[in-house]
Structure 1
């Protein structure tokens, strides 16, 4: 990138860092792009409305102002930001014959997407811890997960994600040597790295190590947490409590499975896969998952449904 192109190797006089990048997008056919515009427009609309409704219900309805829904509200807000970092640009580019993006905007988009993706990884782990305390220590739940603790956990998720993504991004040294065609619909770090003409083995090592830390560590924590939750649930004798525990945990596990599955497929697999595979995986975790999150939580959660009925009842009356 423009600010990350330093290298120990001397650059040739005819090698220049591109000021503008060309994005190949999902298709070069005008009719296909028109169809994709309509599809992604509705997906983006559903994502914004669904996640926005979740945030609104949690803020307005006092019954939902609990630790679990506090973190769910953070997740919905994060998903709104995550999709907004890529889909609006994708929509505009689907109406453009020659989609371009400046060097600075590409670098910013890459950093923001990484930051929000890592923040979601950590936040999902925090939500698993909240469910663990609620089920395994119900009598001490309100004392442990108090307002101060919830605020600290949420803030730590954002700060840790910033330290793991934005700070290292400014230390990466990649020389692009004039190559400016990114075979992707956005400035995805994996696609940008493919343009490098210098030795990027050190950068790949750093990214691989960072991916292991930001994906495998939270995911392992979630698995261990839910293993202990399963042991606690098996000791519950009340069928109603047992069903409620499975309902709340089931929604979270569904989101974890979709998000972590696609993210690991992108960042932990070998780098020699095709660009079409990268695009498909990116669509799943950057577009489809944020759209499904509010549907998963609202369709399987009675509290959210009742809160929506109360809000609609007030408007009707």
Structure 2
């Protein structure tokens, strides 16, 4: 698929006449395989197609046994040309936790030093979000024999953390991350996910291993395909004074992470939700710890559900 992207994005490139006649293509040339069901690229779009290895989600371990089925897909729109797609995590049948920047957009600000170019806060957030659960069905006993993935859609209201503030440079690199969290209150309860993770009673420790589950590359693209994967990481840096983010690195099979994905410490009956992945910092991939925001999360869980006059029905789809 990467080769195809390179060819499509090279319109007008000079030819190399020294190589002679081109060799005929193999019969399987351009076959991306089962995990690259990205769809067709229109003529109007191909020249701006980003060349990125994350087009192919061959990394991580596919969650075919639904170990992390509480990990959901989240989609909002901040305008006609501003869709945002991320992951999220079910905390209860009615509540989804995700990253604040997954549901809120940046807006420019002026700063005395000039380093800060824009900020993500609660002033420019989507009102509504679509959430999709994904349940895999096996055709046999082997994980490679996935028969289908059932997607169920829900809708809900967005509530960002009241202290959400992500300061960005001119290159959109986070300079600081504070309370980069938001919840989505669903109109209809999720009834096909058996459990949700528990909240931590203490902060993570340096070099502690954990698991991230999610749907990969996020942002303004259609590359979230509904194929949930997971991988192991370990903590490399704890929060610093200027920012709340916790840095991590791979600790096993490579796994491309996105935003809003749950960071889980396993070992008990239920996994423990220690964080939610955020924008990569200049020092590496990062997540927002849930421990400092435990009281806020518990207060959101304890809020009475809004009464809805005409609740929308969830929609099922399978593939």
Task: Check whether TM > 0.5.
Answer: no
Greater Rg, structure 1 or structure 2? 1
- Of Structure 1 and Structure 2, the greater strand share is in 2
Relative to the length of structure 2, the TM-score reads 0.23
Q: TM-score, normalised by structure 1?
A: 0.23
Which structure has more RCO (C-alpha within 8 Å, separation ≥ 6)? 1
